[in-house]
Amino acid sequence: MSRYAVFGNPIAHSKSPLIHRSFAEQLKDSLSYEARLAPVDDFAAGWAEFVAEGGQGANVTMPFKEQAFRLVDVLSPRARRAGAVNTLMLGKTGQLYGDTTDGVGLTRDLERLEAPLTGARILILGAGGAVRGVLEPLLAKQPAALVIANRTAAKASALVEDFADLAGQGCLLSGGSYAAIEGQFDLVINGTSASLGGELPPLPDSLFSPQALAYDMMYAAEPTVFMRWASERGARVEDGLGMLVEQAAESYFLWRHKRPETGPVADMLRRMLAEG
Ligand code: NDP
């Protein structure tokens, strides 16, 4: 039986085993998928142990996305851009391939939600690993403007510099502090980890255009503080549960060349979250 796993530290809370086992069941595919803890500073050792046991591929979550990036033999172009790897695959000759599916996971979920993308004004909050990972697929949708705002403004400016070549002629890509945010946006994506601590970045009240979507990459049983704030200002709101399931589906496709249906799995997770 083919063996897969998710690596993290901590990892006990991970929904990935449930998601991938549900995909396998749906597709009548024979595989095992487990959660594995690796030492914080030695992901390579954890991976080598798994390979010795017959492991063929893995997802990688916090704090290992950068260590995995450094470990692989062959990087996909999108993983190179993102500077992170969330999907590992062992090739037939023993080469290790690394890819990232977070970005495509977000854009698939945004498409499901019929979010304004092409020609839209998009604001992204945050400039960490998650935001770096989603910029390429978002820019590929050719928005009219993409603004990155971050607490540490220099990190937003650095991302603008790194991705300027992908912005193309029609897209105004810019970045800076929260205080510098100007105008209204059709889509506002919270890619900060502020929601984890129940915090909200300092945002102007008149942020949303009519019918705007506010999307928090974080998910929880209850709407996040960002979602509540956005909802009170008239925006449609969504959390990152769909992104989680879509990035998993893309990893599954890379390993198994089969595409699972994501809707039923997202619905099951949503029900489980609500039941606690
Ligand atoms: P990083 O640690 O790389 O970056 C954190 C970002 O959040 C930085 O931009 C940081 O700003 C900002 N930040 C942290 N605390 C605050 C605060 N109190 N106020 C304002 N800004 C703050 O984290 P990641 O990029 O890896 O993850 C970000 C979020 O995305 C997490 O909530 C994570 O759960 C979520 N995520 C969801 C996924 C999904 O599938 N749904 C996939 C990947 C991530 P500064 O630079 O100034 O420190």
Domain parsing of the chain, residue ranges? 2-100+242-275, 103-239
Q: Ligand 1, atom 20: nearest CA belongs to which residue?
A: 201
pLDDT-derived band at 189 (thresholds 50, 70, 90) equals: very high
Region 255-273: mean pLDDT is: 97
Which ligand 1 atom lies nearest to the CA of residue 62?
26
- Provide the CB-side half-sphere exposure for 204 (13 A, CA): 15
Tens-digit pLDDT profile for residues 225-261: 999 999 999 999 999 999 999 999 999 999 999 999 9
Scored b (16 or more CB within 10 A) or e, 178-192 reads: eeebeeebbbbbbbb
| Residue 126 Cβ < 6 Å to ligand 1 | yes
pLDDT-derived band at 169 (thresholds 50, 70, 90) equals: confident
pLDDT-derived band at 224 (thresholds 50, 70, 90) equals: very high
From the CA of 243, how far away is ligand 1's center (Å)?
15
169 or 69, which is more confident: 69
From the CA of 193, how far away is ligand 1's center (Å)?
3
Percent of the chain with pLDDT over 90: 96
In DSSP terms, 57 is beta-bridged to 4, 89
Tens-digit pLDDT profile for residues 28-37: 999 999 999 9
Q: Is the pLDDT confidence value at 80 over 90?
A: yes
| Residue 224 Cβ < 6 Å to ligand 1 | no
At 239 the pLDDT is: 98
CA atoms of 194 and 27, how far apart (whole Å): 37
At 45 the pLDDT is: 97
What class has domain 103-239?
Answer: alpha beta
Q: Is the pLDDT confidence value at 164 over 90?
A: yes
Q: Is the pLDDT confidence value at 96 over 90?
A: yes
At 232 the pLDDT is: 98
Helices (H) and strands (E) in the chain, counts: 10, 12
CA atoms of 176 and 183, how far apart (whole Å): 14
Percent of the chain with pLDDT over 70: 100
At 99 the pLDDT is: 97
CB 202 within 8 A of CB 227: no
At 170 the pLDDT is: 87
Q: Is the pLDDT confidence value at 79 over 90?
A: yes
CB 43 within 8 A of CB 60: yes
SS (H, E, C) 58-90: EEECCCCHHHHHHHCCEECHHHHHHCCCCEEEE
CA atoms of 98 and 49, how far apart (whole Å): 18
At 168 the pLDDT is: 80
Region 42-58: mean pLDDT is: 97
Is there a common fold for 2-100+242-275 and 103-239?
yes
- Summary mean pLDDT of the chain: 96
At 54 the pLDDT is: 96
Q: Is the pLDDT confidence value at 276 over 90?
A: no
- Report the residue among 61, 65, 86, 192 best suited for mutation to probe ligand 1: largest number of ligand atoms under 8 A from its CB: 192
From the CA of 241, how far away is ligand 1's center (Å)?
15
Region 256-270: mean pLDDT is: 97
Which of the four CATH numbers 3.40.50.10860, 3.40.50.300, 3.40.1800.10, 3.90.76.10 does domain 2-100+242-275 have? Answer: 3.40.50.10860
